[in-house]
Structure 1
Amino acid sequence: MLFITNREPQGSILTKKNRSYQFDLSKNAPSNSIYFCERTDEDSYVELGSKQLMSRLKESGSKQLLFYIHGFSNLPEPDIFPRAQKLQKYFDNAEPDLIEVVPIIWPCDDDPGIVKDYWDDQKSADNSAISLARALQFFMDWRNSAPDEDAICLKRINVLAHSMGNRVLRETMRAWNKDYLADGVPLLFRNTFLVAADIVNESLEEGQSGRLICQSSRNVSVYFASDDLALRASKAANLKSRVASRRLGHSGPEDMRKVQTNVYAIDCDDLNTRYDFPKGHSYFLDNGRGQPGKIFKHMLESIKTGRVKVSNEPRRTHILK
C-alpha cells in the first residue's frame, strides 16, 4: 500500500529512495519534510520518493484514487493501515480496479489521557498543513511537467477525511492557497467526503477557511450524527478555548444556504452508534458485522457516478437509514 506521511522517520530525516523507512513514534511534531512511501507488510515500509510514488499511482490499474486522512489519536499500526486495508478490500469487492486507497499519515500522539492527546493532535493537525501543502504542490508540478498528453495522470481523485483529519485537510488547503497559488485553488477533487468532521459547523461558508475545500471539489459530502460521543467530548474540550460552535460532524453545515451548491448534508444519526457502539464516531466502514455499511455504499455510489444521491434535492440533504 502506497502512503504519504509527514511523520519523521528513525535515523536521517533526508529523503533516500528505496531505503527501509521506520516511523519514529516518539516524535509527534510534524516534519517539515514529506515522505512518499510503500507499506510492504505490517511494520515494514520503503521510501520511494515523490516521482516514483506518483508514477506508481499513474500506472496503477485503478481508475480513481482515494486519499484517506485519518483522525486523532491514530497510529500507523494498528489503527491507520488496517483501516485503509479494510477500505481497499471493500472497494475491491464492490468493483475491482475502481479505487486505490492512499493513506495520508500525519503525526498523532499516543500519550495516556484523551484530553492531552486531543490538544497535542490538534496542534499537530494545524502544523501539518505546511508539509502536506508541499505534497499537493509536488503533485501539481509533476502533472504539469508531463511532456505530452499521454504522460499526464488523468485518474480522478477523491478525498476521505475523518474526524480531526478534516482539520488537517482544511489547514492544508489554506496553506496551499497562501504559499503556492495566485488565483485560488484548482478543481482537483471529484468527491470530498467529510466524515464526523471535527471542525466548526460554519467552516464551509463564504469567508471561512473551509470554503477552499468546496472550491477544490466537484462534490462535498458531509456525513454527520448528533449523538457522536467523540465529538461531544471535542466540543467540551474546545469550550475551554471559547470555541462554542457545534462541530460539523455533529450537525452538518450550520446553514445550507451559506455554503456552495456542491455541498451535501448526509444525516447518519440512525446508523452511527449501530455501526460503532458506543461512540458512534468511526461509522464510515462496516455495519458492525464485518460488512460494508450504508455510509460506505453511499460514498461508493458517489465515486462511481460523480453525483451525490440525496432524497431532498432542493435542500441537498439526505437521511441514511
Structure 2
Amino acid sequence: MKRIAVLTSGGDSPGMNAAIRAVVRKGHHHGLEVWGVRRGYTGLIQGDMIEMSLGSVGDIIHRGGTILHSARSEEFKTAQGQEQAVANLKQKGIDGLVVIGGDGSFRGAQKLTERGFPTVGVPGTIDNDIPGTDFTIGFDTAVNTVIDCIDKIRDTATSHERTYIVEVMGRDAGDIAIWAGLADGAESILIPEAPYQLDQIVERLSRGSKRGKKHSIIIVAEGVGSAVEIGRQIKEKTGSETRVTVLGHIQRGGSPTAHDRVLASRMGAEAVDLLLQGKSDYMVAIQANQITGLPFEEAFAMKHQPDMSIYHLAEILAI
C-alpha cells in the first residue's frame, strides 16, 4: 500500500479535523502518500481529491467542523455511483480509504469493500450511537456544549422560578441527554430507550416544589419527540410557568475537548495501521479505553444501547 485517502461524511462533529490530521501524519510516518476527498461521497463520485502534505493539516487539531467538508450523497446509494467512486479512487492510484463519519457513512464504506476496495471507518458523530465502540468522536464536546448552555439556562430559571425543558440532539440515541442530565443535575431526563410517564415527571416537580425548590430542568432527547409539546403538557398539568429551549446545531460546533482530540488522534492513527495490516471492512473502536479494530459486519449485528446505569443514577440523585 503506497497511497491512501481520507474523507469525512454525514453530520460534522468536533474532532474530525484531529482525526484527519492523524491519518495524514501517521500515513506520512509510514512513507505513504495521503489524499483528501472533499465533500464526502459526493466528492468521491466527482473525483474531487487533493494530495495532503504534513503542512496541510497544521493548526487544525483545535478546530471544529471538517476542513474536507461534508455532504450527503443520494447518488452514492446507487450501484452506478459506487462504481464511479471506486473507479475514481483507482484512477488516482489510491490503495485504501479511511471514512470518518457515523452509521450511514459506515454503510457506505462497507459498500466500497463489497466492490473490492479496502476501506476502514472511524466513528465520528456527536450522537455516540455507533455499536461496538464506547465513544465516538465529537460526543464529549457536544455534551460539554450542552452543559454550558444548561448552566446559563439555570441562571435565568432560578431568577424567574420556572421550569425549563431543554431539547438536545442525538437522533434516536439518548446518550447526550443522559450524560448532560447527570452532569447538570436535571430533574428528569427523557430518552428514546426508556418509556416515560408524564404523571411521574409532574410528581417529581411537585415534590421539589414542596421542599422549596424554585426551578427545574428537564432534558428531552430529540428522539423522544417535541420538547415544545412536552412543555405544553407539563404546563397544563402543573399550571406553572414553563419555557422550552431547543439547542439544535450549536451542539455540533466548537473547539473539540481534550478528550475528543486525543480520541480522534488515536482512532485516526489506528485506521492507517489497520489498512497497512491488510484489514478492510473494519471500523476503529474504543473499548475499555483500548483502541481496537472491529469488523463492520460484527458492529452492524449489534444494537447500540446507552449506559443505563448512568440514567438510573441520574434519577436517584435528582430525587
TM-score for the superposition, normalised by structure 1: 0.30
Greater relative CO, 1 or 2 (CA 8 Å, sep 6+): 2
TM-score for the superposition, normalised by structure 2: 0.30
Question: Counting helix residues as a fraction of each chain, which structure ranks higher?
Answer: 2
